[in-house]
Amino acid sequence: MFTGLIQALGTIKPLGGDFWKVSFISHSLDVILQDLAYGDSVAVDGVCLTVEKISNDGFVATASPETLKRTTLGTMSTQNRYVNLEASLKVGSKIGGHFVMGHVDGVGELLESRQTATSWEMTFQAPSSIARYIVPKGSIAINGISLTVAEYDSETMLFKVAVIPITYKETNLSQLVPGSSVNLEGDILGKYVEKFLISGRNTHNLTENADDYNITSAFLAENGYM
């Protein structure tokens, strides 16, 4: 589990093999490596990976074919760009963002990035696999960064976030250009609410498709919500 507060930037060095084994070189070594141990979890652009080896300048992890297929890591083998790094949350640590699991729901696309007097307004296209979890003022993880949804259009599945200067500077958001792909993870709370509502509707016929049911006032009253 993570918080979506990026601790360092790193670069990827492919090592080959049947699985896509990579070496992540951190550019803020004292932050990421000081307490890192074999078997620990690290979020790499929002993807939870397991540390297999630690060196003086980074660590080695393996990305499975499924991970490469469903995230942006699969397109990074020939790219020389930074990735966001965050070590897993420890008991007693401050939670400044929101609970991020490191399980990417889908890959989105940056459509526009516009600088304002106080922030960067960034507009993204979301895939349907995550769109149903996006709500205005709710939380979303973009490349592992905890951000608040400023606006959302349910018809176009476009959403906008306002990124403060320190977040823009200290993460790889500053490297994105229109057309760049990003890893997206919805708020875990939204997923559980969806599951509970569906389960409450028909405990004998569970489904993962929330669109199969209409949440009405009668439904809420029937299930004790009113």
DSSP state string for 159-220 = EEEEE-HHHHHHSGGGG--TT-EEEEEE-HHHHHHHHHHHHHH-TTS--S-GGGS---HHHH
Choose among 48, 140, 141: nearest CA to 87. Answer: 48
Can you tell me the distance from the alpha carbon of 29 to that of 71, in angstroms, rounded to the nearest whole number?
25
Q: Are 112 and 123 in contact (CB under 8 A)?
A: yes
pLDDT of residue 44: 93
DSSP-derived secondary structure letter, 223: T
First to last CA, the chain: 34
**Look-up of token digits 């028909």:** 202
Using DSSP bridges, classify how beta strands 106-115 and 47-55 pair: parallel, antiparallel or unpaired: unpaired
DSSP string, 4-68: S---EEEEEEEEETTTEEEEEEESSHHHHSSS--TT-EEEETTEEEEEEEEETTEEEEEE-HHHH
pLDDT of residue 65: 86
pLDDT of residue 176: 95
Give me the phi and psi of 49, to 5 degrees please.
Answer: -125, 155
Q: How far is CA 158 from the centre of its chain?
A: 16
pLDDT of residue 165: 95
pLDDT of residue 56: 79
pLDDT of residue 204: 47
Assign domain 8-87 to a CATH class.
mainly beta
pLDDT of residue 14: 76
Residue ranges, comma separated, of all CATH 2.40.30.20 domains in the chain are 8-87
pLDDT of residue 220: 57
pLDDT below 70 — which residues of the chain? 17-22, 26-30, 77-80, 92, 199-226
Regarding pTM above 0.75, the answer is yes
